[in-house]
Amino acid sequence: MPDDDLARLRREYAARARRLANHDRYSLFDRAHLFAIQQRGRSVLAALRQAGFHPLSGKRILEVGCGSGGVLLEYLSYGASPAALHGVDLLPNRLHTARLRLPHLPLACADGQSLPYSPGSFDLVLQYTAFSSILDPAVKTNLAREMLRVLRPRGLILWYDFWLNPTNPQTRGIRPAEIRQLFPGCRYRFRRITLAPPLARRILPLSWTLAMVLEKAKLFNTHYLVTIRRR
């Protein structure tokens, strides 16, 4: 990754850690975060079930851009085998936190543009909000190429990222046309999920059911969950 982009990422995550130091926004004690994680979990499990990707035990899984390990923890709860659940992240301090939380998982500090694995070595390759934190189009193209390289021929890529985030200039939403370009020659299934967090924060204190109905209507959903397979 170019040095200036790496420096930008480092600065952005350090600033984010400072911003969030005194609040619970990414804690499950925060209603909106709990709602988003639980709803996403339902959608992910449904997508894996529909793709015939269950049970997860014994499957080789990699998360690219695993950060501090929150998503890997979710996959352990879905039944993934710890020894076969891998994570890669560029930033050593985020990976350090992941290692403290998940000392038994194989985690690597590496740039996703050159993954330290042989071709075809994973059944399932995940990316959750890593691509939207990358501003350079060439880095996104390289990352997607690497994800396809390490995927088994009949493997599955699971993508979760937002298409809209007007509030943070350090991120870029990614729409279906760009996802298709990043993973050419593949089949895709797009699901629009995750009720816009600012809206969820207002509605959840009044009614959990209303938030669920609104998410189902999809109109105010900010993310795409996508299953991607080679043709």
Ligand X SMILES: C[S@@+](CC[C@H](N)C(=O)[O-])C[C@H]1O[C@@H](n2cnc3c(N)ncnc32)[C@H](O)[C@@H]1O
Rounded Cα distance, 106 and 132, in Å: 25
Q: Does 146 bind ligand X (CB under 6 A)?
A: no
Rounded Cα distance, 22 and 37, in Å: 21
Burial class (CB in 10 A: 0-12, 13-18, 19+), 160: buried
- What phi, psi does 150 have (nearest 5°)? -85, 0
Q: Which stretch binds ligand X (CB under 6 A): 35-43, 67-75, 181-189, 207-215?
A: 67-75
Q: Does 173 bind ligand X (CB under 6 A)?
A: no
In the bound state with ligand X, the residue whose beta carbon lies nearer, of 9 and 56, is: 9
Q: Which stretch binds ligand X (CB under 6 A): 64-72, 99-107, 190-198, 214-222?
A: 64-72
Q: Does 130 bind ligand X (CB under 6 A)?
A: yes
- Candidates 112, 146, 165, 193; binder of ligand X (CB under 6 A) is 112
Q: How many residues bind ligand X (CB under 6 A)?
A: 22
In the bound state with ligand X, the residue whose beta carbon lies nearer, of 67 and 197, is: 67
Rounded Cα distance, 131 and 73, in Å: 20
Classify the phi-psi angles of 69: left when phi > 0, otherwise alpha if psi is within -120 to 50, otherwise beta: left
- Candidates 40, 47, 67, 196; binder of ligand X (CB under 6 A) is 67
- Candidates 133, 194, 221, 222; binder of ligand X (CB under 6 A) is 133
Bridge-based pairing of strands 107-109 and 85-89 is parallel
Q: Does 225 bind ligand X (CB under 6 A)?
A: no
Q: Does 40 bind ligand X (CB under 6 A)?
A: no
User: Is-contact 39 215, C-beta < 8 A?
Assistant: yes
Q: Does 70 bind ligand X (CB under 6 A)?
A: yes
Rounded Cα distance, 165 and 197, in Å: 10
In the bound state with ligand X, the residue whose beta carbon lies nearer, of 141 and 207, is: 141
- Candidates 71, 80, 125, 158; binder of ligand X (CB under 6 A) is 71
CA dist 220 → 64, 79, 90, 216 (Å): 27, 31, 32, 10
Binding site for ligand X (CB under 6 A): 1, 9, 65-67, 70-71, 88-91, 94, 111-113, 128-130, 133-134, 139, 143
